[in-house]
Structure 1
Amino acid sequence: MGADADAVEEFAAWMRTLHREAKKPSYTEIVRRIRAADPHASIVVSTISETLNGKRLPRWTTVEPIARALGGTAAPSRNA
């Protein structure tokens, strides 16, 4: 396993920890939470599955809403 694959797995493990600490809501529930916060969000169940299972390293615009839906906090604004 290469360094990139290790980083993806480490990231996925962190996301799974957030999921577990949030009492493992279903992927559908996570999508519902994301869309409640942002009705224009385009994240779907398969994206959440790929993110939590380490299929690929997602973009930050995907990670942040999932993390918030699992009880994480938003990243500080770069303008702050």
Structure 2
Amino acid sequence: MTMMTSPSAEPTSYLLQLGDGDTPQAQWVLGTEEEGIGFFGEHFCPCPGTAAGTEPTEEVAGWVADVLGVTDVELELVDDQGHWSVTIIG
């Protein structure tokens, strides 16, 4: 997961969050914030037993990049609800 912003960085409307942390059903969820609905998950990456509050790893960032069809993304925590913004950097 890259944390430096590149001059060619492209912000997206995608957010990443960990759902069901501390359970066998834990999963990273990639989605968007929809007006009137709230967070709407579109892609799911199982990660059983991952602790709530865990930061996404390089592996998770790689999964996000694969889903979006790019080579690299930047993930940045944006709120106290565990939402991470997704910026395409490669």
Work out whether the TM-score is over 0.5: no
> Of Structure 1 and Structure 2, which has the larger fraction of its residues in helix?
1
> Of Structure 1 and Structure 2, which has the larger fraction of its residues in strand?
2
